[in-house]
Structure 1
């Protein structure tokens, strides 16, 4: 109590309400207890002398990157993928633990590569271990939903002109029955073959003719136009067409192919997602490997596990069970039909977009559920667990405040607030495809796991500093 007339209320609002009812002034403090069992680790990490400067360095690295689309090419050439090599979304996983949609996408990918004639026959290949599985993130790549990348698939190539660093992502197939949602019907494979034979080469020629496309700049504009760059990319897709369509028309490719490509991209509001994702990864990869930094540089899901990576802990994954999203379902589908969360697309939230920028895209609630006030509140809440804001990506309705950027493991553990993710929902059975879209958070336990590792590293660094220049006994 600060005076006879004024009270500071901490935590639950019930007592503060009672005091206000007696005409006394109340200052409410939104305090939450830390996640259970994290108290000692929070103290250890807070005492790390490197932490403040390390986080400032990591955040500055993210904000300093600009992503440009510089090329498009087959994964065999761009990523060096060989026959029988498959990339997938999320942390590492084997066929034995793979979810239905991931299995479906891998089976379809095997048929696409000619390893089997019928996708149903592909399970034996993966059970025998005669093909390899590797996370997209391990090849500087991201993949939406199942995230399966095979050698013949074409990928976008994004580059930061200041450093020459590059990231990659496949071309977006659209919604519904598509490979990334685990579908592998003949029409799914036919579409992918057309994308490899017609769309990919046409986009490559257009990008090379028109010059690099400023993807970061498009992201800046689309946030002002009602997109949040995860589940709403309508403005971004149309701006990409604005930049590339003249070169596509002038390419010399038969007009029927150009028309089909323009119709496909223009009719697929999610097409730009596959550029937003590698743009976010490019920025976050710049912050990897900063000793002492508690900033999250990746969140990813494989349909079984949800994993995060942290700047100060290298390439180590901290995992927990993927969660089932809460949202809206297509047709007669319901929660019993949905697979737990899947995909690398949470890289957008990791960079401050998607669920973190819901306030800039109120119309998104019609796709993922919730209400407009919920969207505004979500963005405000994400500011409580991040290190700063992105002045390039701003939110008009919040007086052009920058999106919350740089998820801080310590702030998540200290407040118990989990990152909010907008997501699509894949059917749990291989071959079904998309069943809905909604909202989800990571499993809470991944953040205490990362915090414990940060505390171990902080203790090691403290021992080394204490030893001084003579480290022979450390």
Structure 2
């Protein structure tokens, strides 16, 4: 076995051994490394204000108003362009954010700990679908919901975590793959399992009954509640495999609506980017072709760990909604086996005789076979202030992997 194969085996073993649990919530600037009250985190690779996509700009505007740093849209734009705010990728701060991925200092974040290796990851709370901050909307309704989430939902959830103790996220993911979830675009079972785990503890908290009732209703109606726990769980697992010398394992697939970026285990501290593609989109009523922005969000961490598009066979309805068939869903999962190294022993697909989802995207295989990672995704409007326009399917651009492979060759000769 050569050095690269040995390194990839070591990295994958660390990933498979990882045990992510949710332990509670805290304000972002209190727990996220190297974050202060002027740091705003975003999805995807590094991007400055001038190059930010419409939904990312919209989310920055909303977050600046939410933080009380700006009174209105125009003032928020001025502050964002002034250089007084530090914009950094969530991934560079042990965090992940869906869609625009904006995490501002006073937002509450889930704390996920990998009990096997000791590393942590963070993500904010899910707002639901449609007109929400992560899709670039910043209306009064959006900001009022964020305020309620901070003042009511987050304290109740944190108090519930104090009663429940650590929640095993790996077990929830494993169960839900047997119930029709793919772990990205479809998280219905995961969200309901999590709600089942938390509901008794929420009811035991000392908060007012009407507030506990509203939190339970909000979580129960939102099919993506668990996505914001799954994403940091995925990051906590795959980060354990990052930084292994000679490893060609991809440890992040991510996008910011402008650029698509990847990270590779054996090339820590480096981003490899290409223009973000536009997803093939199933539009919500009232939207049409041309309304969608480019691919956006850290949620492709799900595909990085073998879920989402890689687990299409577990949730064929996701492919079907944009014109595919269940056979197409199975074909997607089989195709992703061509560019991966192993199968996950705990994340299995009943329809494929309980084979594990494909894991360990190998930069070499992607380039050699010209098979690009397949991603299930939400789709935001191209303009700031609008919100979500539908769901979509997209492929990662090949140039990211070519650049990474060249850098790998230069480093390791």
Could you tell me which of 87, 92, 97 is aligned with 2:46? Answer: 92
The aligned residue for residue 79 of structure 2 is: 125
Matched, 1:451 2:405: yes
Q: Is the 8 A contact 2:124 2:228 kept in 1?
A: yes
Matched, 1:161 2:143: no
Q: Secondary structure at the match of 2:398?
A: coil
Question: Within 5 A, what are the aligned runs for 1:243-258?
Answer: 243-258=197-212
Q: Secondary structure at the match of 1:183?
A: coil
The aligned residue for residue 31 of structure 2 is: 78
The offset of 1:362, in angstroms, is: 1.5
The aligned residue for residue 20 of structure 2 is: 67
Could you tell me which of 371, 387, 390 is aligned with 1:436? Answer: 390
Q: Is the 8 A contact 1:327 1:369 kept in 2?
A: no
Give RMSD over aligned pairs: 1.1
The offset of 1:117, in angstroms, is: 1.1
The aligned residue for residue 298 of structure 2 is: 344
Could you tell me which of 217, 220, 224 is aligned with 1:270? Answer: 224
Matched, 1:206 2:160: yes
TM superposition score normalised by structure 2: 0.98
Task: State the number of aligned residues.
Answer: 412
Q: Is the 8 A contact 1:329 1:437 kept in 2?
A: yes
Matched, 1:427 2:405: no
Point out where structure 2 has 5 or more consecutive residues left out of the alignment.
none
Q: Secondary structure at the match of 1:175?
A: coil
The offset of 1:65, in angstroms, is: 0.3
Question: C-alpha separation between the residues in 1 aligned to 2:178 and 2:304?
Answer: 20
Bigger CA radius of gyration = 1
Matched, 1:152 2:106: yes
Question: C-alpha separation between the residues in 2 aligned to 1:307 and 1:146?
Answer: 14
Question: C-alpha separation between the residues in 2 aligned to 1:387 and 1:287?
Answer: 14
The offset of 1:241, in angstroms, is: 0.9
Question: C-alpha separation between the residues in 2 aligned to 1:438 and 1:418?
Answer: 16
The offset of 1:368, in angstroms, is: 4.7
Question: C-alpha separation between the residues in 2 aligned to 1:393 and 1:184?
Answer: 37
Matched, 1:293 2:247: yes
Question: C-alpha separation between the residues in 1 aligned to 2:186 and 2:304?
Answer: 16
The offset of 1:151, in angstroms, is: 1.3
Provide Cα deviations, 1:406-425, integer angstroms capped at 9, x if missing partner. Answer: 00011111111100000111
Point out where structure 1 has 5 or more consecutive residues left out of the alignment.
1-47, 460-474
Q: Is the 8 A contact 1:284 1:297 kept in 2?
A: yes
Matched, 1:228 2:182: yes
The aligned residue for residue 270 of structure 2 is: 316
The aligned residue for residue 183 of structure 1 is: 137
Question: C-alpha separation between the residues in 2 aligned to 1:367 and 1:127?
Answer: 39
The offset of 1:403, in angstroms, is: 0.2
Could you tell me which of 39, 48, 55 is aligned with 2:8? Answer: 55
The offset of 1:187, in angstroms, is: 0.5
Q: 1:390 to 1:226 in 2, by over 3 A?
A: same
